[in-house]
Amino acid sequence: MQSPKILFLSGSIRSGSVNNQLAALAAKHAVLANTEVTMISLGDYPLPIYDRDYELSRGVPESATKLAELIRRQHAVYIASPEYNGSLTPLLKNAIDWVSRVKSENGSPFKNKIFAIGAAAPGGLGGIRALGHLRDVLMSVGGLVLTEQVSVPGASSAFDEKGDLTNERSASLLSAQIARLVSVSKSLG
């Protein structure tokens, strides 16, 4: 099989986001594993708040269609999710909602797509509460979410000047997670 194609994104568009750093580091691990990596920002896919009336009157926004097609062309997707009030960000949830509305002869772009999820947060839980919600949302739209997940606590000081994780446990978990994501992508691709 050719190298698996994996999309990496963060549920944040804030400059300096630790979840952007986590997504970039995960992508770096995938590149080292001979994977074809695409890294995006959800800021490049602006979407209105999902509203069924909007969809009925105007259709699915072009940005949602472009993002859906990008996801379809991948073997897997890695999402680094910030935690907002114990859950995923409105930006990320809205993107998933809109993309789930883009249908084709193969169904939803999320159907049977492999996902790996991680979170970085300043607190001691490292965004773990958001990951449970993200897992539920992805599974509800047909995604297959790996059991391995990464939670990076104390994220404001968790990355060194090269963008690597300073905590050995978090670094080891991320390395193992990406190895598993690449392996599953190869076997199912």
Can you give the pTM of this predicted structure? 0.96
Q: Tens of pLDDT along 133-176?
A: 999 999 999 999 999 999 999 999 999 999 999 999 999 999 99
First to last CA, the chain: 8
User: Which pLDDT belongs to residue 107?
Assistant: 79
Q: Tell me the residue length of the chain.
A: 189
User: Which pLDDT belongs to residue 189?
Assistant: 63
For the record, the structure tokens of 185 come out as: 């992508």
Residue-range domain boundaries for the chain: 5-188
User: Are 127 and 89 within 8 A, CB to CB?
Assistant: no
List per-block mean pLDDT (blocks of 10 residues) for the chain, which spans 189 residues.
90 96 98 97 98 96 97 97 94 98 86 96 92 97 96 95 94 97 88
Dihedral over Cα of 137, 138, 141, 145: its sign:
negative
User: Which pLDDT belongs to residue 188?
Assistant: 79
User: Which pLDDT belongs to residue 75?
Assistant: 96
CATH number of 5-188: 3.40.50.360
Report helix, strand or coil for 83: coil
Strand partners, 120: 152
